[in-house]
Structure 1
């Protein structure tokens, strides 16, 4: 078998307003803007990457901010919630921070022995903050206003809404995620270890309507491959069960894509080379970076992109 998958690499969602998206994830959630680039398949539009200070796999939330994109409708065959982890003693801080910024917050009570806060971003994307015991050490954005001790520690995981979880569960087993708990119609699968994003929940609702992709919805989720060789081995393994794309060069990682039986688009992305490939760690996200094959058209690309202002906090409060 290939080297184990330890968790999520990134989650990619859709937004409609680039500046509003940038402000929310950097100024409210305290993530670092680790890369401003373009959608390689639609280079007249942005692709944003947010994460910890270095853009570590397992912390990366990315967006296609398509201006004027219609609001999506959540439903079956989609990601229902995206959850971040924080230390247990940080949940009160996050409750206050979100409420002070006018965000309705729902305390979802205990789920699999974890306390959960639920809220939505300005596009309606459903987010959660999970009190995760002794969460992993923080590597917070150097420009965030969130105190280091309360900084988001990457993903806890995602929740998929499915009509029937059997085939999806079987695929998760192939990928190294095994069922560890069940509460009502929610099943929890987890990879070995404690890497960020090592939990995938399934909510089963045979009567759920199908969703409609748009602003506020997740486009796909990506799992981690430790290197190119492991990705190729996983491509061969996954290809025994599902159609898999060829390897695609995304500059900061290599990708393959496949759709799980319930309809959610999955990706397997390599950890290397990472986001410091084409700019210093100290200035990640400050300038537009585009792949080499687009450089001859840089002027055309820049003319089509909205102007952005990146606000940096000088100290945590």
Structure 2
């Protein structure tokens, strides 16, 4: 059965140790995979998520020690949004103050309370209070009381010059539907997705284009149950929208294709299978450096150049 929604978000960061400190200790996310950038194996690829490393909870980073600062602009993700129980917003406001994290005052967006903040690289994040999710499982070993802990993604907001072409892709290919408009935002939701079910399109015609760098989201990945579901999405893109994807690429934990949607944001379609427990036990995810088979022979050299994380 196909479950739609966001699979993961991948961003660019500065120093890896600082990234782990913030996402693992300040936000309390689980480090679910410690591997390398397959195209640049001298750099980590760090994956954070929930206790089960479930699609819809996965935030990944390419951390470069000396990455230049990115610039937010049209054609990029403006904000990555986490879900927390509705009563946890006060806790998170206090925690951000306690850790000196730059943040805004809480605001209402589509009737939900949103607390926006930034990571050490300036990446735009927020937590949104969602009613009725208190009983959902949460990572209990991240230093955050379970009743306040993050429960995967709420969604993302994309900065685009025109919402309609991007919205057509979300609706036709990824199973989202428009559910509301508020000021410059158009909200789409994937019905039935347990998390990562919201994409907001923020219309910002006339803004400068994005420049990728530290603090930038590199791409957004949407869920496909398996190869057949992915192939159907690829077919719809080509036949209904005239968009061609890359060839399928094996990322060990999912299989991916990529394309630029009409608003110029880089989209990925990632399979739910095989998942993050394919090369290490589920109860010890993220503890060992995992390499794809083609890089295993270079392990000693790779480990020698990777920065220490502790």
Deviation at 1:194, TM superposition (A): 4.1
The superposition leaves residues 270-316 of structure 1 with CA deviations (integer Å, 9 ceiling, x where unpaired) of 1111111111122211110000111111122112211112xxxxxxx
Q: Distance in 2 between matches of 1:53 and 1:232?
A: 29
Aligned equivalent of 1:245: 246
Cα RMSD over matched residues? 1.3
The match for 2:214 is: 215
CA–CA distance in structure 2, aligned partners of residues 10 and 211 of structure 1:
20
Counterparts in 2 of 1:198 and 1:218: CA distance versus 1, 3 Å:
same
Name the count of aligned residue pairs: 307
Q: How does 1:51-200 map to 2 (within 5 A)?
A: 51-135=49-133, 137-174=135-172, 175-200=174-199
Q: Distance in 2 between matches of 1:4 and 1:139?
A: 22
In structure 1, what is the Cα distance between the partners aligned to 2:15 and 2:137? 27
Partner SS for 2:48: strand
TM-score, with length taken from structure 2: 0.96
TM-score normalized with structure 1 length: 0.94
Partner of 1:272: 273
CA distance in 2, matches of 1:249, 1:77: 26
- 1:305 corresponds in structure 2 to 306
1:151-188 Cα distance to aligned partner (Å, 9 max, x none): 10100000001111121111111121111100111110
Native 8 Å contact 1:76 1:161 kept in 2: yes
How far did residue 136 of structure 1 move?
A: 6.6
Q: Unaligned regions of 5+ residues in structure 2, if any? A: none
Q: Stretches of 4+ moved more than 6 A in 1? A: none
- Superposed CA offset, 1:86-121 (max 9, x none): 110111111111111111321241110100000000
| 1:255-294 mapped onto 2 (5 Å cutoff) | 255-294=256-295
Following superposition of structure 1 onto structure 2, how do residues 2-81 of structure 1 map, counting pairs within 5 Å? 4-81=2-79
Contact 2:234–2:244 (Cα < 8 Å) also in 1? no
For 2:109 and 2:140, the matched residues in 1 are separated by 32
Distance (Å, rounded) in 1 between the aligned partners of 2:16 and 2:84: 26
Cα distance in 2 for partners of 1:193, 1:278 equals 29
